Amino acid sequence: MRIVQLLAEHPEGLGINALCRQLDTQKPGLLRIMASLTTPGWVLKDPHSLRYRLGYQMLTLGARALLGPRFQEIAHQGLRQLAHETRETANLGVLDQWQVVFIDQMEGIQAIRLQVRVGSRAPVHCTALGKALAAHAPQDALKTLWAMAPYPRFTPHTLCSDRELKPELERVREQGFALDDEEHREGICCIGAPIHNYGGDVVAAISISGPTTRIPAAAVPDLAAAVMRIANDVSRQLGYDARSPQMACLPGNG
């Protein structure tokens, strides 16, 4: 726990010698402990700087603790319902340093389905979860995202410039859902929508993912309606006001 606390105070990471000094311990024993922490992903070691920092597993625990057990229960039920209705894999993610961290998943029943390890990360600019989260980030925070352009290209469809991404996020805000149409992986389509807490803040996003053969353009409106409906249902159970503008995006709501 002292190691975890120390690394939490140094997000840029610490080398083994710095850890030894601050923990007042010997290197051989500490190296064994760090190996035990890095293997399951609690701590990550940068192969270039050789510095250690907290890993994705720790972030996943932190996100779950922050959102609380009630959120986990409600969101997991939403994932289960979404996977059942669409027959596709349903995902739950949160935002961390302009990356999406997957904190839960419910596999669909299709023979061919997309699997993502809980705790793993994905880019914001080319994923449905990422765009659903970024679209509702504060404008001041978005300046950091714009400064990161050009963004990595994963497929010929990836949006790599802030000039392309800005109107895309505006469209996400207007229509209530985000689309990844082969932008992260060729042949894969994802549809995501934000989850709001009782204060109206977007705390997570939910999505479905599957091959484009099962999610062609013609199927997107109906599937997006299902994703938004369940995202809003989760939000309502978290205390979000059902009269919020997002509800206007759903068929049959004003």
Half-sphere exposure of 146 (CA within 13 A, CB side): 15
SS3 99: strand
Mean pLDDT estimate for the chain:
86
Q: Averaged over 177-185, what is the pLDDT? A: 96
Q: 254 pLDDT band (50/70/90 cuts)?
A: very low
Q: Is residue 254 part of a domain?
A: no
Residues 196 and 235 in one domain: yes
Domain count, the chain: 2
What confidence tens digit (pLDDT) does each residue in 22-39 have? Answer: 998 999 999 999 998 888
Cite the beta strand spans of the chain per DSSP E: 43-45, 52-54, 89-96, 99-106, 121-123, 178-181, 188-196, 202-211
* pTM of this structure: 0.71
Residues 24 and 100 in one domain: no
Q: Are residues 192 and 220 in the same domain?
A: yes
Same domain, 153 and 172: yes
